[in-house]
């Protein structure tokens, strides 16, 4: 889950957000008292039949301090539509030419509950309790990982579930990728 | 959406919530700055084949000041699982003997985005921006509407979509009921 | 539901189908004895955020003899993947340049049960009992209605649910369109 | 997938089926020419919050000749509703007192495509091409495996994914169980 959600996007005029956001201090306080609304987007490349060929994994600094593989993730801001947040985070992490195909339906394939206590659900975020709507998002353009992301790799569904790749993902991200593949009928 | 979420439940020991909640004042401040995580539960009675026979509609004071028909709804608290919040609000509104069957999957049938501005999505809550996970929940026990709910009626899928019943629901609740019926294959 | 499923596609080499199909006579016999596997695809145009802007409605001869508005629909053949059938019928009805985005997940938004008896589910096909997997499919290219389709119009979600348009759809097609809009959060 | 679908149920009057079924010979012929409509039901036991505690696995003769662990599965008959087929197969395999809670929505969590060729999807049925709607079904009563099922065990989500249990499931059944657990947020 990204730690740099607000930077650079607060002044955006492309989304219809009409109210002030939180200062870093206020956000810190709110995170101790309220579950925070997140989105997770699992980027995939598909063939002409919609079959998933590969999954995109970012490399970045995680809330737990590790450098890990992860999917696109971030906060939904006050006044922002869920699909606006999805597009904003996808552009932030994959660049402006990624052409993500945000789903027509708001129904997520799952809801991920991140807790400061790693034992509650296995999805772990030391900073906060976050409730995240998770989507599989086909990517049709060219990706250029930006900002907080150090790197982006595309792996096949077979590779994504290998112990080697799974071990590069902390905080439950490896499990989220396998849940996305299961939803796409591709869990081995 | 209910206005009396915290009252009476903060001391509950049946849910694993380990941290302080918000004071009324803090909640008011947070609601001006962060989207709030909600759950909506559409109570239904089904036959032995799972077919929906009727939909439960509460009568209660709504955020917009009206007395309206509405489904079960309320906040997810800090540290609380989504399914715990569902069960807590169902028991609060339908009584302790309602025997609600909370779904095994966390996948909601839709995500409802309530905005202070009624024009954004048509789902309206003057108090806040709320992102609500919506579920259809079969009820198997006896219901006794409690606390904020003044009344509970059960209507058939056919009745639920009549102009008469739809007009008794404000803030998009009538539309949410029709979306739930569509999800159950029963939209006329 | 289309009546001209097999014609012209049986010789296709683009799908991996390795066995003989049914003669018209055999298909007629099978339709009296077995439920037939179908797909329904509701074509939509979306904006960059994935929001549905319009719904595509074909004009064509229906199983009940009427000329009606309808979505893309047809049989899944022996040996054919569901996503292959979706793409085949979309290309058949919308032309080869439609660029339909078949979903990455095999989870349909609903399952439509068509019966020869119009009273069972309200979804009616006088020829057969069909079980149809229904998907919303974004269309990105240029459409040229072909073969059995006489015409294609794009209507807004608001227009699609007007009595005028709804009355042009028989056999439950109008209801299916409203169920698709409900799934996309756009039922009025 | 069960091999004894029709026996004993064809005379049932509890479902509204108005037409003749297939003789064994006709069924054999149809299976060589048409995809067959199936349902798969993954039986689960849940706690009061709907959380899955255990998964029910039958032991039975499989289409491939093996004795394997499997979920509840079988054909949808001509004229039969999908939810009727689900209930019929659940009662056939788990006994009349199992009290299965068939979901209110017809949306399956996935669609499983069984092919005679094990390489197409990994879901294998040597007898036929079957398209199966898969549901997670909570069981509330007492189970007494009947007819074709030799045995029924309940295993925790953790046990269900161990190599030992997974190896007892052929034809893709182990994968289907893991997909069901992923849908319930419980894939390890």
| pLDDT tens-digit profile, chain B (188 residues) | 544 333 333 333 333 343 445 677 777 778 888 999 999 999 999 999 999 999 999 998 877 788 899 999 999 999 999 999 999 999 999 999 999 999 999 999 999 999 999 999 999 999 999 999 999 999 999 999 876 778 999 999 999 999 999 999 999 999 999 999 999 999 88
Contacts of A183 in chain C (CB under 8 A): 105, 107
Q: How far apart are CA B170 and CA B122, in angstroms?
A: 10
C16: helix, strand or coil? coil
Is C118 within 8 Å of C24 (Cβ atoms)?
no
Contacts of C83 in chain A (CB under 8 A): 49-51
DSSP category for residue D46: E
pLDDT of the residue at A21? 59
Q: In this model, does residue A23 exceed pLDDT 50?
A: yes
Cβ neighbours of residue D23 closer than 8 Å, sequence gap 6 or more: none
pLDDT of the residue at B188? 80
Cβ neighbours of residue B77 closer than 8 Å, sequence gap 6 or more: A35, B5, B6, B17, B21, B85
Is B68 within 8 Å of B107 (Cβ atoms)?
no
Residue A41: closest CA among A58, A59, A53, A17 = A58
Q: How many domains does chain B contain in total? A: 1
CB contact under 8 A, B175 and C187: yes
- Residue-wise pLDDT tens digits, A99-136: 999 999 999 999 999 999 999 999 999 999 999 999 99
**Residue C153, burial from CB neighbour count under 10 angstroms (0-12, 13-18, 19+):** middle
| Band of residue C6 on the pLDDT scale cut at 50, 70, 90 | very low
- C61: in domain: yes
- Extended beta strands in B16-158, E state: 36-46, 52-61, 67-70, 72-75, 110-114, 130-138, 149-155
Instruction: Give the C-alpha distances (Å, rounded to integers) separating B75 from A22, A26, B68, B70, B133.
Output: 20, 20, 19, 15, 10
Residue A170 tokens, joined: 């902390």
Average confidence (pLDDT) over C113-134: 95
Contacts of B113 in chain A (CB under 8 A): 81-82, 106
Q: How far apart are CA B138 and CA B44, in angstroms?
A: 5
Instruction: Give the C-alpha distances (Å, rounded to integers) separating D93 from C36, D124, D169.
Output: 25, 21, 17
Q: Identify the segments of chain D with pLDDT beneath 50.
A: 2-20
Contacts of C117 in chain D (CB under 8 A): 18
CB contact under 8 A, C108 and D108: yes
C182: closest chain B residue by CA: B179
Average confidence (pLDDT) over C178-185: 98
- D10: in domain: no
Backbone CA torsion sign across B37, A59, A171, D178 = positive
CATH number, position C110: 3.90.79.10
Which of A120, A180, A182, A188 should we substitute to test contact with D (largest number of D Cβ atoms within 10 Å)? A182
- C188: in domain: no
CB contact under 8 A, C37 and D34: yes
- Residue-wise pLDDT tens digits, C135-170: 999 999 999 987 677 899 999 999 999 999 999 999
- D52: in domain: yes
- Tell me how close the Cα of B48 comes to any Cα of chain A, in angstroms: 27
CB contact under 8 A, D37 and C34: yes
Residue A55 bridge partners (DSSP): A44, A155
The H or E element that residue B180 is part of is: helix B173-183
Distance of CA D128 to the CA centre of its chain: 15
Instruction: Count how many residues are written for chain D.
Output: 188
Is B21 within 8 Å of B6 (Cβ atoms)?
yes
> What is the 3 state secondary structure string of C53-76?
EEEEEEEEECCCCCEEEECEEEEC
- What is this model's ipTM? 0.88
- D172: in domain: yes
Instruction: Count how many residues are written for chain A.
Output: 188
pLDDT of the residue at C18? 38
Residue D3: closest CA among D141, D174, D149 = D149
- A16: in domain: no
pLDDT of the residue at B146? 79
- Tell me how close the Cα of D173 comes to any Cα of chain B, in angstroms: 19
User: CA angle, corner B66, sides to B61 and B71, nearest 5?
Assistant: 55
> What is the 3 state secondary structure string of chain A?
CCCCCCCCCCCCCCCCCCCCCCCHHHHHHHHCCCCEEEEEEEEEEECCCCCEEEEEEEEEECCCCCEEEECEEEECCCCCCHHHHHHHHHHHHHCCCCCECCCCCCCCCEEEEEECCCCCCCCECCCCCEEEEEEEEEECCCCCCCCCEEEEEEECHHHHCCHHHHHCCCCCHHHHHHHHHHHCCCCC
- D33: in domain: yes
Distance of CA A76 to the CA centre of its chain: 11
| Band of residue A44 on the pLDDT scale cut at 50, 70, 90 | very high
- C84: in domain: yes
Q: How far apart are CA A53 and CA A155, in angstroms?
A: 8
- Residue-wise pLDDT tens digits, C11-67: 333 333 434 456 777 777 788 889 999 999 999 999 999 999 999 999 988 777 888
Q: Which chains touch B (3 or more CB pairs under 8 A)?
A: A, C, D
Q: How far apart are CA D89 and CA D73, in angstroms?
A: 7
- Domain enclosing residue A83, as ranges: 24-183
CB contact under 8 A, D103 and B50: yes
User: CA angle, corner C169, sides to B166 and D106, nearest 5?
Assistant: 65
Q: How far apart are CA C31 and CA D10, in angstroms?
A: 18
Q: How far apart are CA B139 and CA B35, in angstroms?
A: 29
Q: What is the reported pTM?
A: 0.90
pLDDT of the residue at B21? 59
């Amino acid at each position: 889950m990204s730690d740099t959600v607000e930077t650079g996007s607060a002044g955006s005029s492309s989304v219809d957000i009409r109210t002030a956001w939180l200062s870093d201090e206020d956000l810190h306080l709110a995170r101790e008292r309220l579950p925070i609304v997140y989105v997770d987007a699992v980027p995939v490349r598909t063939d002409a039949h919609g079959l998933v060929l590969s999954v995109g994994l970012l490399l970045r600094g995680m809330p737990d301090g590790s450098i890990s593989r992860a999917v696109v993730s971030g906060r939904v801001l006050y006044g922002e539509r869920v699909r606006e947040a999805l597009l904003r985070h996808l552009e932030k992490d994959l660049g402006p030419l990624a052409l993500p195909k945000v789903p027509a339906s708001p129904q997520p394939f799952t809801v991920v509950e991140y807790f400061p206590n790693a034992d509650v659900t296995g999805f772990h975020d030391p900073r906060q309790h976050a409730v995240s709507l998770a989507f599989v998002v086909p990517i049709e353009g060219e990706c250029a990982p930006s900002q907080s992301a150090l790197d982006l790799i595309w792996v096949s569904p077979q590779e994504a579930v290998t112990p080697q790749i799974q071990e590069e993902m902390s905080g439950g991200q490896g499990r989220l990728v396998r849940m996305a593949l299961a939803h796409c009928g591709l869990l081995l």
